[in-house]
Structure 1
Amino acid sequence: MQHAYGPDALAPVTLDRREGPYGEVVLRRRGDDFEIIANGCFLMDTSDGRSERLLIDAALAALPAGRPAPAVLIGGLGVGFSLARAAAEPRWGRIAVVERERAIVDWHLAGPLAGISGAALADPRTAVLTTDLVAHLRTATERYDALCLDIDNGPDWTVTEDNGNLYSPAGLADCHQRLTPGGVLAVWSAQPSEKFEQALRDAGFHGVRTEEVGVARGVPDVVHLAIRAA
């Protein structure tokens, strides 16, 4: 997720508007950038993808050295920066992307966002799963070496009420179960959360820490990192 533009920015132009099972999702263009709005809440734009790239880079750096072709699950396709970063890194093996909004998937496959994600989606390592992330983590049988999750503005600022389940004790237990021993959980947030850091420790993760990315105004974007014991 990213911060919205300031009050003096160009007026946005709506490119597509869809009603889905989770409400309304809108793709807009503002100048040269694109932005996604869900149920009237600004989610992200293409103006600055540093923190989405950090989500991937920090997870890979935190994995045990020498782990061959680690598998990564990206929760939330968004504007595609995280997926593009993962596909540009040859060390990753299997790359799964979970995105519950069919409209967002369509905007990447045959729409304005294809310029960001086209090469990544064509990568044979990549698979897109159009389903709810929380449900997938609860019911899937495969494990991943890294979970890189960016479906909200953060644990303390969810887009829809049911997204809060991801950050609950049960949701974090599902994350823990889906990781291989020594695997990494990386969670994007628009602001640091000491409460969430403690929740990660309570869920059995260790090595809990937070990396920051400064923004033009306000508190920094962050990536919360936690490790499943080997």
Structure 2
Amino acid sequence: RAAELVSQKRVTLEELFAQVGEGELTELNVILKADVQGSLEAIEDALNKIKVGDVRVRVLHKAAGAITENDVSLAQASGAVVIGFNVRPDPKARELAEKESVDIGTYQIIYKLAEDVEAALKGMLKPEFEERVLGRAVVRQTFKVPKIGLIAGSYVEEGTITRGAKVRLLRDGVVLADSQISSLKRFKDDAREVQQGYECGIGIDNFQDIKEGDVMEAYEVREIART
């Protein structure tokens, strides 16, 4: 019975329409994380203006910084969704969210964030794409290579880093760049992919401000069937 109650609290944007239609949902609880305080205030203001019928958005918790395990735990306990603006979940937060079926939505444009939340409340949100993290690598040093530019000497701590993949550069969980892996090397040789536990050199398109300790998060976006 306790497990059923916990399960009933879980909310994802895709499930909202059914709950609104059945009169089960009067508030959408949100855990809000963003890169800076100014973003938090602007997003909360936008969310507070959304009302569909008798359903409103309520921000339970907001803070600047990466999405953490504590954010996911709070969302799971309160039946909330986690929304991040220019930030990403750390690996432990992502793992817990998958385990507990907590929805995490990440955005880089405020109006798109508000638009998706309002569309979900109206029952119009139909996900067409899903994102899958391929791998994460931590930058250990940087060096310049003639005709290529800045290369990040990195250690792959999770999954696989693939040349040509989409990639985010994270610093303390905040997204600094969303680009593509243009160069991938093992020692001096070009590599198609580098797996967990190995070192590599990573170059990304149109971004040179890479520092030791930054995280490269490679990902892919796949089209999924409409439901």
Query: How high is the TM-score relative to the length of structure 1?
Result: 0.29
Query: How high is the TM-score relative to the length of structure 2?
Result: 0.29
